[in-house]
Amino acid sequence: EVQLLESGGGLVQPGGSLRLSCAVSGFTFSNFIMSWVRQVPGKGLEWVSAISGSAGRIYYGDSVKGRFTISRDNFRKSLYLQMNGLRVEDTAIYYCARVSGKEGYFDLWGRGTLVTVSS
Amino acid sequence: EIELTQSPATLSFSPGDRATLSCRASQSISTYLAWYQQKPGQAPRLLISDASNRATAVPARFSGSGSGTDFTLTISTLEPEDFAVYYCQQRTNWSITFGQGTRLEIK
């Protein structure tokens, strides 16, 4: 079964750090660009970051550049997001998403993990 | 950063109606546009890529059109399960942005 399963969300204080993980099954993980997309509950979607299959190309949205780091482990079929310097406005559901081919569209999504930044 | 504007924020239709949703880009994005459907408590689902290509298993009642700055998602005959929020998304040089969404509600 094709599946993306996020974990690692929780409550963290402003300025704190958190590491999200996404475990993948059902497809050849190393062949796909992977991404993180977030959504404030009840609000719209915001693209966060993407990483190529070999991890040779990495991209970030402006709002997280310099604070978040995306990485992957193709042997473990896992995607990660290290989030440092967290801000209240980073509070959101974080989705792991597979990128369709070489394009920047998201054809497979996990169920998301909630990150809450609050004192 | 390219902005996508979806208007109106909410549309009201009855099952069986034809619905047309709009997405406008702040500058030309060729046909690099996708549409997603999101239901409460669920992740988004890809419906359309490259403005007009239906994704796998998406019913034929969904169609997309447009190029440049103006795009449309059409649902030819609304089914009860189509009432949801719809987002457009553009991809240009890995500066990806989404529209703010249009909620399709039952009249």
Q: Which residues of A touch B55 (CB under 8 A)?
A: 107
Q: Which residues of A touch B42 (CB under 8 A)?
A: 111
Chain B: give the shortest CA distance to residue A31, in Å: 18
Amino acid present at A91: T
Q: Which residues of A touch B64 (CB under 8 A)?
A: none
A27 close to B (CB below 8 A):
no
Q: How far apart are CA B21 and CA B85, in angstroms?
A: 11
Mutation pick from A2, A38, A98, A106 vs chain B, by most beta carbons of B within 10 Å, is A106
For position A103, what pLDDT does the model report? 78
A33 close to B (CB below 8 A):
no
Query: What residues of chain A score a pLDDT lower than 70?
Result: none
Q: How far apart are CA B21 and CA B79, in angstroms?
A: 15
Chain A: give the shortest CA distance to residue B95, in Å: 7
* Rounded (5°) CA angle A99-B97-B52: 65
Helix, strand and coil percent figures for chain A, each rounded to 5: 5, 50, 45
Beta strands B4-7; A106-109: pairing state? unpaired
For position B40, what pLDDT does the model report? 95
Q: Which residues of B touch A103 (CB under 8 A)?
A: 49-50, 91
Residue B80 corresponds to which tokens in the numbers above?
Answer: 């009860």
Burial of A42 (0-12, 13-18, 19+ CB in 10 A): exposed
For position B96, what pLDDT does the model report? 95
**Three-class SS state of B80:** helix
Amino acid present at A82: Q
For position A101, what pLDDT does the model report? 77
B46 close to A (CB below 8 A):
yes
Q: How far apart are CA B76 and CA B61, in angstroms?
A: 5
Query: What residues of chain B score a pLDDT lower than 70?
Result: none
